[in-house]
Amino acid sequence: MDKKPFATREQLEKIREQYPTPFYLYDEKGLRDNAERVKRAFSWNKGFREYFAVKATPNPSIVKILGEYGCGVDCSSLTELMMAKALGYRDDRIMFSSNDTPEGEFRYVHEMGGIINLDDITLIDFLENELGEIPKTISCRFNPGGLFKVSNDIMDNPGDSKYGMTEEQLFEAFRILKAKGAEHFGIHAFLASNTVTDEYYPMLAGILFKLAVKLQKETGAHVEFINLSGGVGIPYRPDQTPNDIFAIGEGVRKVYEDILVPAGMGDVSIYTEMGRYMVGPYGALVTTAIHEKHIYKEYVGVDACAVNLMRPAMYGAYHHITVMGKEGLPCDHKYDVTGSLCENNDKFAIDRMLPKIDRGDILFIHDAGAHGFSMGYNYNGKLKSAELLLKTDGSVEMIRRAETPRDYYSTFDFSHEFDQVLEEWEKRNK
């Protein structure tokens, strides 16, 4: 089984003529079709809303597309809130889930009318001091501790996570917030990352639904929404089975009917905050093979590096690679596919069996649509690439230009001599 790119070699060669590699390419049709599937999968819940995790792909064009399908935004910083504001998001279409929150950010989102999701009980005083009040609508993040297992497999370790409150703290937080004027409550939890199993959301839902019933009964707080956060993953490897969002939605519905409805809580809205699932498969890093090296191993050097996609370097994450135009050839060459950073972990693949790669070949690095461009940095003075949108009519739109040396140096108070160097470079590369 192999992964099929959403663009052809001919398309990419044509795009490369106008936009030099490396670049990110997003599939508008895939994004739209997937957003519609998510909407349908949870349509049984009247108040359902997907709050797209902006951190995954903070590009206004992507956020606007998802907004057309009713998605809100999950923000975690001031700049993400500013993007939401510029795009017209207001009130309960904004969820602000931050931790170790800097001064001023709660005030900013409160002025926009967004929902604040508190990460810790100590933030209650911080929030009240900053706003002069407690918002009428408030959410709290829960961390059950221990290990989180699905079908006896350990999925993640919440007890080692810095996020959320203990159950005891959560109950105390609800009592304090209610006494201080909060009227509408929500709970939120993120217990595992990138799960490729339809069981995760229903199992998490069961934990949170039972908790919500207990919270409402013991504190008198009105629980209006339950946020399942993210964690629904994508099949990075070609042998993995994709999640079935309709099976997931139906699984959550059954737990909802079993737990919340008998407790008289059949009006609770279900929220999600999926970033990876919404965009991950519909974005790719496109790069060109520019060098080869034959020493103790076989290396192919490409014009992208970990600056463009750091997940393999940071996590050892797998991203499938298609050598465009050679999909039918045998994978009989073992390569490390590398970038040019002065770090030995700057590798997109290690000991990967691929067809023979020649200089000039286009490599399509799959499933980079989420936590790809957004995690980029500028080590070695490398510059971030352009982001392009492959539109439904087959045309291509640049939705973020590539960085330039002038961008890199723009925050320096540099001398006239430095300015001259930049002007010479820009004149030579017009």
CA atoms within 13 A on the CB side of 30: 19
Q: Are residues 58 and 181 in the same domain?
A: yes
Q: Is residue 3 part of a domain?
A: no
Residue 78 has pLDDT above 60, yes or no: yes
Q: Is residue 18 part of a domain?
A: no
Q: Are residues 252 and 373 in the same domain?
A: no
Per DSSP, the three-state class of 107 is: helix
* 383's tokens: 């510059």
Helical packing angle, 60-67 and 28-41, nearest 10° = 40
Q: Say which CATH number the domain at 370 has.
A: 2.40.37.10
Q: Are residues 47 and 146 in the same domain?
A: yes
| C-alpha dihedral, 40 to 33 to 231 to 182, nearest 10° | -50
Give one DSSP letter per residue of 246-299, joined into a string: HHHHHHHHHHHHHHTTTTT-TTPEEEE--SHHHHGGGEEEEEEEEEEEESSSEE
Residues tagged active-site = 342
Q: Are residues 294 and 371 in the same domain?
A: yes
Q: Is residue 307 part of a domain?
A: yes
* 293's tokens: 């090296």
Q: Which of 86, 92, 64 is nearest to 279 (CA)?
A: 64
Per-residue model confidence (pLDDT) at position 397:
98
Residue 154 has pLDDT above 60, yes or no: no
Rounded CA gap, 76 and 377, in Å? 19
- The 3-state DSSP composition of the chain as helix, strand, coil percent (nearest 5) reads 35, 25, 40
Q: Beta-carbon neighbour count of residue 169 at 10 Å?
A: 16
Q: Phi and psi of 311, rounded to 5°?
A: -60, -45
The stretch 389-393 carries a mean pLDDT of: 97
Domain end (from 226, 247, 279): 279
The stretch 344-351 carries a mean pLDDT of: 97
Q: Are residues 118 and 191 in the same domain?
A: yes
Q: Which domain holds residue 294?
A: 281-417
DSSP summary character for residue 393 = T
Residue 189 has pLDDT above 90, yes or no: yes
Residue 146 has pLDDT above 80, yes or no: no
Residue 430 has pLDDT above 90, yes or no: no
| pLDDT tens-digit series, residues 5-49 | 999 999 999 999 999 999 999 999 999 999 999 999 999 999 999
The stretch 387-414 carries a mean pLDDT of: 93
Q: Are residues 105 and 179 in the same domain?
A: yes
Q: Beta-carbon neighbour count of residue 424 at 10 Å?
A: 10
Per-residue model confidence (pLDDT) at position 153:
58
Rounded CA gap, 102 and 51, in Å? 22
What letter represents residue 13's amino acid? E
Rounded CA gap, 74 and 141, in Å? 14
Q: Are residues 97 and 33 in the same domain?
A: yes
Q: Are residues 86 and 168 in the same domain?
A: yes
Q: Are residues 298 and 354 in the same domain?
A: yes
* Mean pLDDT over the full length of the chain: 94
Q: Are residues 243 and 382 in the same domain?
A: no
Q: Are residues 57 and 149 in the same domain?
A: yes
Domain end (from 248, 279, 310): 279
Per-residue confidence band for 2, with pLDDT thresholds at 50, 70 and 90:
confident
Q: Are residues 315 and 408 in the same domain?
A: yes
- The whole-angstrom distance between residue 234's C-alpha and the CA centroid of its chain comes to 11
Q: Say which CATH number the domain at 197 has.
A: 3.20.20.10
| C-alpha dihedral, 21 to 9 to 311 to 187, nearest 10° | 110
Q: Is residue 202 part of a domain?
A: yes
Global pTM value: 0.94
| pLDDT tens-digit series, residues 243-290 | 999 999 999 999 999 999 999 999 999 999 999 999 999 999 999 999
Q: Is residue 410 part of a domain?
A: yes
* 111's tokens: 């002025």
Domain end (from 259, 279, 299): 279
Per-residue confidence band for 151, with pLDDT thresholds at 50, 70 and 90:
low
Percent of the chain beyond pLDDT 90? 88
Q: Is residue 20 part of a domain?
A: no
The stretch 186-203 carries a mean pLDDT of: 92
Residue 75 has pLDDT above 60, yes or no: yes
Per-residue model confidence (pLDDT) at position 159:
72
Per DSSP, the three-state class of 133 is: coil
| pLDDT tens-digit series, residues 292-342 | 999 999 999 999 999 999 999 999 999 999 999 999 999 999 999 999 999
Q: How many separate domains does the chain show?
A: 2
The stretch 154-169 carries a mean pLDDT of: 80
